[in-house]
Structure 1
Amino acid sequence: MKRARTIAWIKGLVAIVVTAVVFLVPFAFVLLQAAKTPDDASNLTFSWPTHWQFFQNLRDVLATNDGLIWRAFANSAILTVGSVTIMVILAAMVGYVLQRKASRLNPVINFFVLAGLIVPPAVVPTIWLLQGVGLFKTMFGMILVEATFGLSFCILLFRAFVGTIPRELDEAAVLDGAGPIRLFFRVILPLLRPVIVTVIVVQAVAVFNDFAGPLYFLPGDENATVQLTLYQFQGQNLSFYNLLFMDILLITIPPLVAYIFFNRQIVAGLTSGAVKG
């Protein structure tokens, strides 16, 4: 018994050390670079700053390019909220129908859902399609693109979770006179709260951190997202690494806070579908 406790304690200690190396060391490196002068930061060494100018770097980043980062945070917030809202509503509906309603089309739909996870995004055809419908370089078009990219993963999560909900609830609601819309929004959707939280957090972080999507489909400073602001501080001839790492630090804070507060809900939502279905 004592030996088992010792082994468990050693495993826990190893897990803590590995976590510190993988997550805390890179974060500490970013934090130190963000507090250095331009000359010190250009060396890209893991060392203590010779002269601390953390708040000066922070002010410079917030004021660069007429405060572009403020507009970028607003654009990223709009993009994240809009796309995640579409993902949650559509994925919940599709997952419920696929799990509850047997149809000849289900294998075909499942094939396209899985294809959405496997097949890489086609940039040029997507740009051509957005131009054809007049949504290229628009926030609404970018919201649709992000929602489409994340929809397959969300559908799989919702479908697995719906499988854990007893069918008797559906039958009881129908006997009480509930139609399909009322059945879904008044009975099923409130029960999907754990997986909804998981989808919101996971996909919000993914959309917020997306770099390639806005770069291809939403060009222009007026449409810049937080990830594209990194271009401001790195060029072919001159790079301000202290400001670059300060920008990275600011971009890292929102996803980090989301993970700290919702990590248990994320794990619960990802594993709940494994019970049944």
Structure 2
Amino acid sequence: MGISKQARRVIVAVIALVLSTVIFWIPFYFVIINSFKNQAESALMNMSWPKSFHILENYKAVLTASDHMLVRAFYNSMLLTVLSIGVLIIVSAMAGFVLQRRDGGRFSSVFNFLVLAGLMIPPAIVPTIWVLDSINLFKTLSGITFVEVALHFPFAAILYKAFVATLPREIDESALIDGAGGGRLFFNILFPLLKPVTSTIIVLESINVFNDFVNPLYFFPGSNNATVQLTLYNFMSRFTTSWNLLFADIVLISIPMLILFIFFNKQIVAGMTAGAVKG
């Protein structure tokens, strides 16, 4: 006797729940519980409950360490995320519109290949630093913003292109007949219709930029320029690591993006599947 369809769904749901618990919730519990311990207990690296809780002192120590570096880092990361996502949305939305609507002839395949190449080719660290330094943008917020936009542009442009394909061309033709120019057609008529995919890009790329470790390390160095991920160095040294403070730091820098993902996960799914009808 075969398994019913409903039973298969239950089995799949149970397997998914177990996997999510093992992959996400157990490590997260490990980080949280060790952030409540003192330095000696946290160094044991186990999931046992602490003999005594040190919640307030641990999190206070993290927030005040290195002259409140974490507070400055939150400001830097939030500002970098907002600027990067704002520029990324405008640039990638216009690019996706042009790539889908305009017929570039034989050059269309070249443009599409160049966009896809951005997903496959890793960034060149040294040449990028040289370029930024030559135009006086190295170690600046503007410079790291351009780097983040460039690295996340291909993915966003592809999503926008797929979504624009679902919008009828009659919208463009009607707007042009009514006398709308290219700028008005895009910003006043088409761009508001891109809200589902825009929401997806805002959430996904905000998480990526906020959690970025490598790019700020190379292109935005300096104690005053530290982002939240770089503050992890505060509690690590060559001889002794304050694991309890390190874990407390991880918890603090995970909270904003975790909240963002929990409240906007439906928008992520909607935007990712919106362009699946046409491509």
How far is 1:126 from its partner?
0.3
CA distance in 2, matches of 1:84, 1:38: 38
Give the equivalent residue in structure 2 for 1:120. 122
User: What are the within-5 Å matches in structure 2 for residues 1-277 of structure 1?
Assistant: 3-104=4-105, 105-277=107-279
Corresponding letter in the other structure for 1:46:
M
Corresponding letter in the other structure for 1:98:
L
CA distance in 2, matches of 1:245, 1:118: 33
Alignment deviations for residues 170-202 of structure 1 (CA, whole Å, 9 cap, x no partner): 111111111100000111000000000001111
CA distance in 2, matches of 1:3, 1:260: 32
How far is 1:98 from its partner?
0.7
Corresponding letter in the other structure for 1:92:
A
CA distance in 1, matches of 2:256, 2:194: 25
How far is 1:7 from its partner?
2.4
CA distance in 2, matches of 1:128, 1:109: 26
CA distance in 2, matches of 1:248, 1:113: 34
**Sequence identity (%):** 48
CA distance in 2, matches of 1:66, 1:139: 21
Moved more, 6-15 or 132-141: 6-15
How far is 1:6 from its partner?
2.3
Moved more, 29-38 or 103-112: 103-112
CA distance in 1, matches of 2:215, 2:8: 46
Alignment deviations for residues 251-276 of structure 1 (CA, whole Å, 9 cap, x no partner): 11111111101111101111111111
Alignment deviations for residues 221-259 of structure 1 (CA, whole Å, 9 cap, x no partner): 000000000000001011100000000001111111111
How far is 1:41 from its partner?
0.4
CA distance in 2, matches of 1:217, 1:235: 23
Moved more, 1-10 or 170-179: 1-10
CA distance in 2, matches of 1:6, 1:270: 28
Secondary structure of the residue aligned to 2:15 is helix
How far is 1:2 from its partner?
8.5
Secondary structure of the residue aligned to 1:204 is helix
**RMSD of aligned alpha carbons:** 1.2
CA distance in 2, matches of 1:163, 1:222: 44
Secondary structure of the residue aligned to 2:4 is helix
CA distance in 1, matches of 2:152, 2:34: 33
How far is 1:100 from its partner?
0.4
TM-score by length of 2: 0.97
CA distance in 1, matches of 2:5, 2:73: 52
CA distance in 2, matches of 1:143, 1:227: 16
CA distance in 1, matches of 2:21, 2:230: 28
Alignment deviations for residues 25-67 of structure 1 (CA, whole Å, 9 cap, x no partner): 1110010010000000011112111111112101010010110
Secondary structure of the residue aligned to 1:151 is helix
Secondary structure of the residue aligned to 1:48 is coil
Secondary structure of the residue aligned to 1:50 is coil
CA distance in 2, matches of 1:112, 1:57: 48
TM-score by length of 1: 0.98
CA distance in 2, matches of 1:202, 1:59: 30
